[in-house]
Amino acid sequence: MGITIKQIAKKSGFGVGTVSRALSDDDVSVKAETRQKILAIAQKYGYVKNASAQALASKKSRDIGLVIPAYFKSPFYSDFYIKTIAGGIEQLSGFEKVKGYKLRILFLRDKNSFSELLQESQALKLGGLILTPYCRDFFIQESDIKKLEIPVVVLSQEIDGPNIRSVVLDDFKGGYDGTKFLIALGHRRIGVIRGFYEDIEERFGGYKQALNDYGISLREEYIMKGNALQDSGYDRTIKLLRLKDKPTAIFALDDEMAYGALEAIRTLGLRCPDDISVMGFDGIEISRFTTPALTTVVRPVEKMGKVAVRLLVDSDMWKKEKVIKVEGEVVARKSCMAIG
Amino acid sequence: MGITIKQIAKKSGFGVGTVSRALSDDDVSVKAETRQKILAIAQKYGYVKNASAQALASKKSRDIGLVIPAYFKSPFYSDFYIKTIAGGIEQLSGFEKVKGYKLRILFLRDKNSFSELLQESQALKLGGLILTPYCRDFFIQESDIKKLEIPVVVLSQEIDGPNIRSVVLDDFKGGYDGTKFLIALGHRRIGVIRGFYEDIEERFGGYKQALNDYGISLREEYIMKGNALQDSGYDRTIKLLRLKDKPTAIFALDDEMAYGALEAIRTLGLRCPDDISVMGFDGIEISRFTTPALTTVVRPVEKMGKVAVRLLVDSDMWKKEKVIKVEGEVVARKSCMAIG
DNA sequence: TCTTATTTTGGAAACGTTTCCACAACCCAA
DNA sequence: TTGGGTTGTGGAAACGTTTCCAAAATAAGA
């Protein structure tokens, strides 16, 4: 049913080479007038490029693989991945340079998946790969990533390599802003629950800096080390609230621990935010549905997806810098209130 | 880097035609011994089929398009779509007939997207299309779906057409089971809040049938008509609870209305489930995180994704029946308790 | 053993692009 | 007017499969 380049060539009177060049918009060696004519005919007959033929001839498809780890179904993280996809797709359709690029979801099942991934990238002649957070360690080693021969964008982690770019959150600033927000509400005794990933260090650094900038001294007993999961948030909060000079606010360095904190407060018969404020970090969607709704530093996941795609599709941007930082934002909901 | 069919032909001493046939496992016109030899060589050199070439030559790719509507980022539904994807992918990797098939996410942005969709299906020579719930009406008309010339699987809606199959939940049974569950807990005065989609009619039918089967007469004042959204759940619950002989349980025919119900109960100073039980319908993941956690009829979304993929990939199954019904299941959490 | 089916194989053509190389057309300066 | 450079264009070859047709090999029947 569809018309082909050859037929356009015949109809327009130009050769197939010229038609092909006219139809690929980055090729400038075609007279504007010629391109005009060819485009008009293509338009008229509803020409659609055959993606397979294109990929075969150019030895490279216009597919971008978005890699998602197996446990992405977790209610905590599903919207995280969906938003990354959404951002990517939006970028794909919004940015004019990307004409014809498409997103493809690749799924990482277990530790052996990496070889499969390699194979798929090869079979599909992928134009690039996006690695969503938490792919590594569990499923892919950093060294594996460096082995990949196609352009790779890694989300939420900095990895160095000639064809690797990273898009990361400014964790330090997030930690700083969250703390500052609490301070602005009048809090002076602010407990913090850390996780164990590297990025958490940065967040914690922001916390310390903010305290320092506002002349509040760091108290060792307010610093708890969690393990990023809900239970540890619960546990550490109980400890914090048993202190004689207990904090008026708790900054959990990820949302999941913040849920634990909320639960702990309820268990102890206290009320949030009346008795104690809680701030989370991540901006997972279900934070909206906790009671009270969680105030949290949200990570702009959708934007990260956009940037990742853009990097793979826009060679100017690709060349510019190896690490791109995006900023989070404190979203005020119900779990924090002013005191004093 | 990769080896091609031609090279395998040379190495094995067979012709390219034979090699190609040996490598496509549904082709039986190759001697077992020959296939054995060829496969061994392919294995040895790590042969990977070039998907583009295959699609070009056969005029049909092994891609299945999974269509997701624009508002899929909604926290209510994101895990719904993610699970559909997950199920689809799992099927793709689990079922041996599907070798080489891949999932591709297609995104429906607005009412004009349908023509784009057509174009993409054409450009990518898709092997099939899966339409997730809520694509239609908002973005695609039923008549559009019938126009598609490739195999289509529609989720959660029955549409008839020569190359259309449907995978739907047994809504009647879900409504029946949910009601039965409440009756088993001792409830006799059960309010119901309906939505306005067709499937809700079925669910409501199940409710009526269950009441009837257990000898409970239908009370008009217990039947409320909502609009599927949270607010209406809130609103109708208030009304139900102001009745002088108020219900002891409320069956909201979708989860979102159930959240509204929970909220209304809280507002009125009542407690769930102590004063009144609430049952939802859908099994959206965040139902787990409401307080109290919602007891609900869960729709096996992941399974539906699996079945959809399987249909497109397994021609035996495709031929068998046009509508496939899957069953939901009551998942008991905290929002219902026994009375009396 | 010869003939006729049946199974198995070889190889060319086709799929719709891109890309390379050669050449034509044009422009400008000398 | 000629020469050299630049800009545009034509068309063949290549990409790696599938598929069709013809032919070869084998099996079956007489």
In tens, the pLDDT along A14-45 reads: 999 999 999 987 777 888 889 999 999 999 99
CA distance A329 to A332: 9
* Contact call for B56 and A56, based on CB within 8 A: yes
Q: What is the pLDDT of residue A113?
A: 74
Average pLDDT of every residue of chain B: 90
Indicate yes or no: strand D within 7 A of the C-beta of B291: no
Q: Which residues touch B225 (CB under 8 Å, ≥6 apart)?
A: B193, B194, B196, B236
CA of A55 to C1' of C11 (A): 25
Judge whether residue B263 has pLDDT over 70: yes
Measured to protein CB atoms, the chain C nucleotides within 7 Å are 7-21
Judge whether residue A96 has pLDDT over 70: no
Q: Which of A185-189, A200-204, B176-180 has the lowest mean pLDDT?
A: A200-204
CA distance B161 to B143: 10
Judge whether residue B195 has pLDDT over 90: no
CA of A251 to C1' of C27 (A): 72
* Contact call for B289 and A75, based on CB within 8 A: yes
Of the candidates B52, B102, B286, the beta carbon closest to that of A125 is on: B52
Query: Taking a C-beta distance cutoff of 8 angstroms, is the pair A179, A206 a contact?
Result: yes
CA distance A21 to A34: 10
CA of B18 to C1' of D20 (A): 13
Q: What is the pLDDT of residue B268?
A: 95
Q: What is the pLDDT of residue A97?
A: 61
Of the candidates B75, B85, B291, the beta carbon closest to that of A285 is on: B75
Judge whether residue B26 has pLDDT over 80: no
Burial class of B146 by CB neighbour count within 10 A (0 to 12, 13 to 18, 19+): middle
* Contact call for A48 and B81, based on CB within 8 A: no
* Contact call for B85 and A93, based on CB within 8 A: no
pLDDT in tens, B127-143: 899 999 877 666 778 88
pLDDT in tens, B43-54: 999 999 999 999
Q: Which of A8-17, B74-83, B320-329 has the lowest mean pLDDT?
A: B74-83
- Say how many C-beta atoms besides its own lie within 10 A of residue B336's C-beta: 27
Looking at CA atoms only, how far is residue B331 from chain A in angstroms?
16
Q: Which residues touch B38 (CB under 8 Å, ≥6 apart)?
A: B8, B12, B14, B18, B19, B22, B23
Strand partners, B68: B107
Task: Give me B201's structure tokens.
Answer: 């009619």
Q: What is the mean pLDDT of residues A285-305?
A: 90
CA distance B265 to A67: 43
Of the candidates B2, B286, B302, the beta carbon closest to that of A289 is on: B286
Name the band, by pLDDT with cuts 50, 70 and 90, for residue A289: confident
Name the band, by pLDDT with cuts 50, 70 and 90, for residue A91: confident
- Is residue B189 left, alpha or beta, with left meaning phi > 0 and alpha meaning psi from -120 to 50? beta
CA distance A61 to A125: 5
The residue of chain B with its CA nearest to that of A49 is B123
CA distance A197 to A201: 7
Across all strands, nucleotide nearest B55 (CA–C1'): D17
Q: What is the mean pLDDT of residues B162-183?
A: 96
CA distance A186 to A337: 9
Q: Which residues of B touch A49 (CB under 8 A)?
A: 123
Who wins on pLDDT, B261 or B285? Answer: B261
The residue of chain A with its CA nearest to that of B59 is A52
Judge whether residue B72 has pLDDT over 80: no
pLDDT in tens, A231-240: 999 999 999 9
Q: Which of A66-75, A92-101, A259-268, B117-126 has the lowest mean pLDDT?
A: A92-101
pLDDT in tens, B221-257: 999 999 888 999 999 999 999 999 999 999 999 999 9
Measured to protein CB atoms, the chain D nucleotides within 7 Å are 7-21
Q: Which of B114, B105, B179, B170 is nearest to B146 (CA)?
A: B114
Indicate yes or no: strand C within 7 A of the C-beta of A51: no
CA distance B22 to B206: 53
Of the candidates B49, B120, B122, the beta carbon closest to that of A123 is on: B49
Q: What is the mean pLDDT of residues A171-183?
A: 97
Q: Which of B240, B257, B228, B259 is nearest to B189 (CA)?
A: B240
* Contact call for B73 and A50, based on CB within 8 A: no
HEC profile of A123-152: HCCCCEEEECCCCECCCECHHHHHHCCCCE
Name the band, by pLDDT with cuts 50, 70 and 90, for residue B96: low
Q: Which residues touch B249 (CB under 8 Å, ≥6 apart)?
A: B182, B185, B187, B189, B190, B191, B276, B277, B278, B279, B336
